[in-house]
Structure 1
Amino acid sequence: MSRATSQSPPTVQPGLSDERRIVASVAVSALGTWSYNVGIAVYAYQETGSTAWVAAATVGRYVPALLITWVGSRFTDRLPRRSLAVGADLVCALVMLLLTVTAALHGPIPLAIALAAVSSGAARIQSASALAVAADVVSESRLPRTAGLLSGAEAVAVAAGPAVASLLLAVSAPPVLFAVNGLTFVASAILLRRLRDVPPRPAHERPGGGGLTHPDVRAALRGVRPLLVVRTTVAFVYGVDIVLLAVIATDNLDIGTGGYGWLLAGAGLGGLVCAWWIRRDGGGGPATAPSIVGLALYTLPLLAYLAIDTLGGGLLVQAVRGFGCVLATATAVSALQRSVPSAVSGRVLSATHMLVMVGTSAGALVTPVLLSVWGLPATLGAVVLVAVVAAAVVVPALAHFDRRGAESLAALDPRVDLLRRLAIFHDASRATLYEVADSLDESEVPAGAPILVEGEHADRLVVLVAGSVEVATGSGDARRSLRTMHAPAYVGEIGLLHGIPRTATVTAAQPCRLWSLPAETFLGAVSQAGVSSALTENVRVRLS
């Protein structure tokens, strides 16, 4: 066990500031992106009057971005994730500058779409890296709320971005939107740069090459397949919206292309309400019910457009749909972050973003065809049918996913019960205890074996499950015994909190059974208020 160099107890710094920076980064970047998305769609529709060109702008951006994302996924678990996210933001900012110049000079549309594709790919790498950073620096018990905050930030952007775009387009031109988007990427990079960087795992601790084809990555993807289906279905409906809402705004509601932005703003408002509800509720429960309810709320109200012909009615429909979109998305994202091992989370989240692009492109691509062949009523019915079929197919898999999660938690109950008996965890939330219990490595040592050695790097907390240990300092004639500790107990926390080498040696006084908790998991757990207060008091006692 280590001891501090001063007699004052350490101050445990929570990860909330990192959480806020990640959320702020997503909000700022998404605000510009949604304004920019509206600008692209409105510009294409105004210039050509064709939904096919709106779809072409979407597919032309996303399909090449798939290749960029696939290549980038090979590096998300090998490079420092924060640095990768910052670099991707700066690439996006540079591309937006080039796109601004291209649009201002009335350059060729294929060039503009190609630049947008590069930006889309880099943005997906940035998003996957940022989500992986969130999974690393935010304690697991806060991940559902963090996912809700991230979805809320996206919802704010969906609400405010189109409104900003509509105002800017009323007094300026699309190049202005592209320039504003570039500035938001710079702001996002500045926010992320202030995060603590989590270094990549050593090569022997993480899956090696192969990118998304590595066996560990494939196994992780199989484990979260129902979540990927939900996320892809939501993306497909969003791709439909890109094309469909422009038609609904101009033909059904008779409010012109500017109404496209207001309909998106209505969805953003509903999403914001959902994000507030998730944050208040806490989330983190079973995924089946919220995923299916979210899909239903996002898709079924589309049929209301067969009878609605006013902007007020359209905004109400979009608010309900926005609530459902954020509910399904936040549920899938938080479950992914909780379920996927950190060593492969970057690549799994990159694969998720690739599926989102595939779904969005498919929705945008088929919608003009359906509109031209079947008309609006049948197109709306077809989109709803796709979502209903996807929900029906995925329900059994989601239920199995939830059962497997519940069984995993039940298997951890004996560990949770023992952890609760330790003073440090006495007031911890149940979610924090499950997080800790799931991260423990068990071992046994014979009497006389060293457990922690004075001067060594402090990299873990040790929980004494059975047996007793002696804590001593010095060696030889200078050796001084400090105390004998009996199970259940824990040692090694002070070196972790202060970032100093072990300043005491812990030796097994009799055969011992031990649990080892990695430093990063321990430090994330102590950011919880109940743990921190108990830890501070215990450190004060041990140092006195």
Structure 2
Amino acid sequence: MGRTGAVLRETGSSLTLVFSNPRLRRVQLALLASLVGDLAYATAVTVWAYGVGGATAVGIWTAVRMAAAAVTAPLGAAVADRVSRRGLMLATDAIRAVLVGLAAISLVTGLGDPAAVFVLATLAGLLTAPFRSAQRAWMPSLCSHPSELTASNAASGTLESIAFFVGPAIGGLLLVVADVPTVFVLNVITFGVSFALVLAVRTPEREVLGDDVEPDAGAREGFLGELSAGFRLVGRDRDLRLVTGEVCAQTFVGGASKVFLVVIAVEVLRTGASGVGFLDAVLGVGAVLGGLAAIARSSRQRLGVDMTVGVLLWSVPLVLISLVPVPAVAIAALVVVGAANPVVDVNLDTIVQRMTPDALMARVFGALDTCYIATGALGSLVMPYLLHAVGLRWSLVAVATPVAVVALLGLRRMHELDGRLRPPPALDLVRGVGLFAPLTQAVQETIARALVPIPLASGDVVIRMGDVADAFFLIESGRVRVTQGDVVLREQGRGEFFGEIGLLHDVPRTATVTAIEDTLVQRLDRGAFLAAVTGRSRSLAEEVAATRLAHRGDA
């Protein structure tokens, strides 16, 4: 009971942290509304397609939709990195509402042929990936601390799990009591709710670190360069490659599950193919439990290890089913598999958000989405051949074992990744500086990691008037005195800064700064400082510099 109580308290604390932030609360609820309506709509389209052309129509539509999504995900992500993420979410909500509304009108009036409805349904589905990429890339700008970001992703994962359970259920219920157009209308309403919630979010324009991306880089790279930027960044970063490889292994099994769940329903549960709906519900229950567990663990910041455990839990339960193929074991194992999904997704999103420059973040998510869709499709293609060749039990072993091997081989590196992602000690000091307040969390962390501590005794000179300006300084503890000759301009203490004027105006130091007690300052070299102070942050720095110069003082 004590452990359960602790988990519940951690879950409650994390949810409170997220939903007490009005901006995060609105974006989370917008995501939920969008997903619930989208999944209810997808269920209705599947049922309608089956009525039009049977299983063949369902299969063709699903394959076309997945292939198109894999191709268009990088395109939507590139747009998300070049325009306002809020604006893109609003646009995709509005366009999807129009497309689904047109499909509903076509069905009600009977004026359109089935091909038109298929086209409208596919186009609406293609806009889901840009909406999600924009939402994930926007989240760091709405959070004030790494723990808040992790908790927010955990909340998103849980809401997504709930949506995957509730959306199809609502769609199925409305199909029983009403008809397909009614579900389409519900989807239009949910997009409207999502639009209103996102519209209510107000946030300053994001700042990017100048070294991360050059302003005209996109123009020089051209269209293909823009689209491939996310793939190139993943290819260059060893940790991102590892994360992508692990999750691709997991999504391969996820794709295979679309096939083997039907066989488990037939051969293990003895319910016939219709039992796959029950197994989907079992996975949904597990996903909700896994989402709550991810929320409870969000404050621990063990992102890499937890993600690897989630990938491993996509493997081991399948081996257990192959060893003991009875209904109780299959159900229990699939609950665990369902719980593993949000654990992987939550930690994956947070890792990418913490490691990726803001200017490329949506394109990295788009690249990952393309990889995951491709490996999922590969799994669904390979599984029927395995089942035909070796049967269910050995097929489960065949798809599960490589995933376990990939996860275990990467575990040590994931421990190291957690060290890389641990918030730097000086982060709170950086966040308290007004110049850096407009910067994204990722940029603030970059600054904090670049700081070099310099202990000073009383009487030590930090900078001398006339010296070359080569660094910016933050006072962590103690006090300093700023002078010009015999004139004392001011004294400064913890949380204050100096040294920006010489850097911003490329002039020698205009004052001397001396420690007047034991003091600890953090030094940020010239390049890192100038790269950080862009846009609004640069304007704030110039205002401070102008004020100090007007009072004859360097800072």
TM-score by length of 2: 0.69
* 1:463 and 2:487 aligned: no
The 1-side partners of 2:402 and 2:77 are apart by 30
Partner of 1:213: 228
- The equivalences for 1:13-32 within 5 A come to 16-32=21-37
Change beyond 3 A, Cα 1:141–1:96: same
* 1:447 and 2:435 aligned: no
The 2-side partners of 1:433 and 1:102 are apart by 46
User: Structure 1: which amino acid aligns with 2:368?
Assistant: T
Aligned partner of 1:485 among 485, 492, 503: 492
Partner of 2:158: 152
* 1:117 and 2:122 aligned: yes
Question: CA contact under 8 A between 1:151 and 1:275: conserved in structure 2?
Answer: yes
Q: Gaps (5+ residues) in structure 2?
A: 1-17, 219-224, 434-439, 453-461, 499-508, 515-520, 538-555
User: Cα RMSD over matched residues?
Assistant: 4.4
Instruction: Encode CA deviations 1:271-310: one digit per residue, 9 max, x unaligned.
Output: 1112222222225544454233323333443466676676
Change beyond 3 A, Cα 1:86–1:143: same
Question: CA contact under 8 A between 1:271 and 1:323: conserved in structure 2?
Answer: yes
- Secondary structure of the residue that 1:447 maps to in structure 2? coil
Partner of 1:358: 374
- Secondary structure of the residue that 1:276 maps to in structure 2? helix
- The equivalences for 1:409-424 within 5 A come to 412=424, 415=426
User: Structure 2: which amino acid aligns with 1:485?
Assistant: Q
Instruction: Encode CA deviations 1:55-100: one digit per residue, 9 max, x unaligned.
Output: 4332210111223222222222111111112212222222222333
How far the C-alpha of 1:222 sits from its partner, in A, is 4.8
* 1:325 and 2:341 aligned: yes
The 1-side partners of 2:309 and 2:139 are apart by 26
Aligned partner of 2:167 among 161, 164, 173: 161
* 1:33 and 2:51 aligned: no
Aligned partner of 2:392 among 373, 377, 380: 377
Partner of 1:79: 83
* 1:334 and 2:346 aligned: no
Instruction: Encode CA deviations 1:182-240: one digit per residue, 9 max, x unaligned.
Output: 32222222212222245355796634222243497355665411222233333333333
Question: CA contact under 8 A between 1:249 and 1:256: conserved in structure 2?
Answer: yes
Number of aligned residue pairs:
464
Report the identity percentage: 21
User: Structure 1: which amino acid aligns with 2:33?
Assistant: V
The 2-side partners of 1:81 and 1:65 are apart by 19
User: Structure 1: which amino acid aligns with 2:166?
Assistant: A
Question: CA contact under 8 A between 1:238 and 1:363: conserved in structure 2?
Answer: yes
How far the C-alpha of 1:54 sits from its partner, in A, is 4.2
The 1-side partners of 2:21 and 2:149 are apart by 11
Partner of 2:513: 510
How far the C-alpha of 1:44 sits from its partner, in A, is 4.9
The 2-side partners of 1:157 and 1:424 are apart by 38
Instruction: Encode CA deviations 1:250-269: one digit per residue, 9 max, x unaligned.
Output: 67646577654443232222
- The equivalences for 1:187-266 within 5 A come to 187-199=193-205, 201=207, 206-207=213-214, 208-209=217-218, 210-214=225-229, 217-218=233-234, 222-246=238-262, 248-249=264-265, 253=269, 259-266=275-282
Change beyond 3 A, Cα 1:343–1:382: same
User: Structure 2: which amino acid aligns with 1:79?
Assistant: V
Aligned partner of 1:183 among 186, 189, 206: 189
- Secondary structure of the residue that 2:164 maps to in structure 1? helix
Question: CA contact under 8 A between 2:316 and 2:404: conserved in structure 1?
Answer: no
Where relative contact order (Cα < 8 A, 6+ residues apart) is larger, the structure is 1
How far the C-alpha of 1:434 sits from its partner, in A, is 11
Partner of 2:12: none
The 1-side partners of 2:31 and 2:282 are apart by 20
Q: Which moved more, 1:172-181 or 1:87-96?
A: 172-181
Question: CA contact under 8 A between 1:297 and 1:324: conserved in structure 2?
Answer: yes
Change beyond 3 A, Cα 1:387–1:302: closer
Question: CA contact under 8 A between 1:290 and 1:327: conserved in structure 2?
Answer: yes
The 2-side partners of 1:47 and 1:323 are apart by 35
* 1:141 and 2:168 aligned: no
Question: CA contact under 8 A between 1:249 and 1:257: conserved in structure 2?
Answer: yes
Question: CA contact under 8 A between 2:75 and 2:227: conserved in structure 1?
Answer: no
